[in-house]
């Protein structure tokens, strides 16, 4: 039986991993799931395991928060003996967080095959911690599962062509698998007293925005001055830094579960975010998105004006909120909703 050791640790990784974990089980692959504990609040971690039916991790390393070196070093120390103990046929890592890099480094140094889901993404902005995690992980990986053709092309430019597979985006799989359930189960619109298509949805958590007071203040002031109801589920990183503001239209709430988030995204008039995953979900649902960053890895979403880069620029945010929304539906460029099954089949074929 093929044995995979998967490493997850942060909110977007639970969502990326859910369809893959299910597909591995269906393919008869034995999965040992390790949670690094990078995210640990119940609404940043447990809720996703419950809602998405992800099996309980074999171990939680409880590394918690810290500086990059501290957090990554704790992960390295705790992952190594577990990988030695389980001796998997391959180690699977997701996305671009410190948990991704730690899983990749330990696997590569121990000589285990390394598979990277969401390979080939680049912002070309080396001030982002994630950019280092992406580049280092891709250059250590044996199997690179790309969500888009653009990701395949970017890897080729760096000389990586072996073991590269265009499989589609597992976050698109997740939206297709859980979108209906969200519509059936979530009561978030009633709970918050919202009318469909009559509010904005905002998320902010990038250091570029949270750790630069002028940027956070420009974003929050633009939201406050938008004249529209803004629902803003606040990431714990951002909570500590938000300026005090008297703006009754700004609804600051705790981070949401996935089903509530999906419903709020589908029904929003426009989404404002610096999140990678939320930009894509806006695109999947055909909801206009303003990205609160100077650049994006997900350049496909910019086509047709579905996503517009506004940075942390007060005036641009307010101007773009007045712009006309694109018409029709965005082209399907993130696969066919079966990325996870493709990943499981390739792992079986290569490792069996």
* Residues carrying an active site annotation: 205
The residue assigned the tokens 């598979």 is 115
314 CB contacts (<8 Å, ≥6 apart)? 218, 219, 221, 222, 225
Minimum distance, C-beta of residue 257 to ligand UDP, in the bound complex (Å): 6
What, of ligand UD1, ligand UDP, none, does residue 342 touch, CB below 5 to 8 Å by kind? none
Provide φ and ψ at 92, rounded to 5°. -115, 125
What, of ligand UDP, ligand UD1, none, does residue 129 touch, CB below 5 to 8 Å by kind? ligand UD1
CB atoms within 10 A of CB 184: 9
What, of ligand UDP, ligand UD1, none, does residue 256 touch, CB below 5 to 8 Å by kind? ligand UDP
Binding status of residue 130 toward ligand UD1 by CB under 6 A: yes
Residues 7-36 binding ligand UD1 (CB under 6 A) are 10-12
Q: Which residues of this chain interact with ligand UDP, rule CB under 6 A?
A: 11-12, 15, 203, 233, 255-256, 258, 261, 275-278, 281
Cα gap 74→132, rounded to integer Å: 18
What, of ligand UDP, ligand UD1, none, does residue 19 touch, CB below 5 to 8 Å by kind? none
Binding status of residue 56 toward ligand UD1 by CB under 6 A: no
Binding status of residue 236 toward ligand UD1 by CB under 6 A: yes
Minimum distance, C-beta of residue 237 to ligand UD1, in the bound complex (Å): 4
Question: Within a 13 Å sphere around the CA of 213, how many CA atoms are in the beta-carbon half?
Answer: 4
Q: Using CB under 6 A, count the residues that bind ligand UD1.
A: 17
Radius of gyration of the CA atoms of the chain, in A: 20
First to last CA, the chain: 8
85 CB contacts (<8 Å, ≥6 apart)? none
Q: Per CB under 6 A, which region of 40-48, 108-116, 195-203, 219-227 contacts ligand UD1?
A: 40-48
Cα gap 39→10, rounded to integer Å: 5
Q: Using the 8-state DSSP alphabet, how is residue 105 labeled?
A: H
**Which of 3, 86, 139, 237 is the binder for ligand UD1 (CB under 6 A)?**
237
**Which residues contribute to the site for ligand UD1 (CB under 6 A)?**
10-12, 38-41, 44, 65, 96-98, 129-130, 205, 236-237
């Amino acid at each position: 039986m093929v044995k995979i050791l998967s490493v997850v640790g942060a909110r977007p990784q639970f969502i990326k991993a859910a369809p893959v974990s299910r597909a591995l089980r269906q393919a008869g692959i034995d999965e040992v799931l390790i949670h690094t504990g990078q995210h640990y609040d119940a609404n940043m971690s447990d809720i996703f395991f419950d809602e998405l039916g992800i099996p309980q991790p074999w171990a939680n390393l409880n590394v918690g928060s810290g500086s990059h070196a501290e957090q990554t070093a704790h992960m390295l120390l705790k992952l190594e003996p577990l990988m030695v103990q389980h001796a998997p046929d391959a180690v699977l890592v997701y996305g671009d967080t410190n948990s991704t890099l730690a899983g990749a480094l330990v696997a590569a140094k121990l000589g285990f095959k390394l598979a990277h889901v969401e390979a080939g993404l680049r912002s070309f902005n080396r001030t982002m911690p994630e950019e280092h995690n992406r580049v280092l992980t891709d250059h250590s990986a044996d199997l690179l599962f790309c969500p888009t053709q653009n990701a395949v092309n970017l890897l080729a430019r760096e000389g990586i062509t072996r073991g590269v597979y265009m499989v589609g985006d597992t976050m698109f799989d997740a939206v297709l698998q859980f979108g209906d359930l969200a519509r059936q189960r979530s009561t978030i619109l009633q709970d918050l007293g919202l009318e469909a298509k009559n509010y904005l949805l905002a998320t902010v958590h990038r250091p570029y925005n949270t750790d630069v007071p002028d940027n956070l203040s420009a974003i929050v002031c633009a939201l406050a001055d938008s004249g529209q109801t803004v629902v803003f589920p606040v990431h714990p990183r951002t909570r500590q830094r938000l300026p005090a503001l008297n703006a009754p239209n700004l609804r600051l709430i705790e981070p949401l579960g996935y089903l509530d988030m999906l419903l709020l995204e589908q029904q929003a008039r426009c989404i404002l975010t610096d999140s990678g995953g939320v930009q894509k979900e806006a695109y999947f649902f055909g909801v206009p998105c303003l990205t609160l960053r100077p650049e994006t890895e997900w350049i496909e979403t910019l086509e047709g004006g579905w996503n517009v880069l506004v940075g942390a620029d007060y005036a641009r945010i307010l101007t773009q909120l007045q712009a006309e929304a694109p018409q029709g539906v965005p082209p399907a460029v993130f696969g066919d909703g079966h990325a996870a099954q493709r990943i499981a089949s390739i792992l079986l074929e290569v490792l069996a």
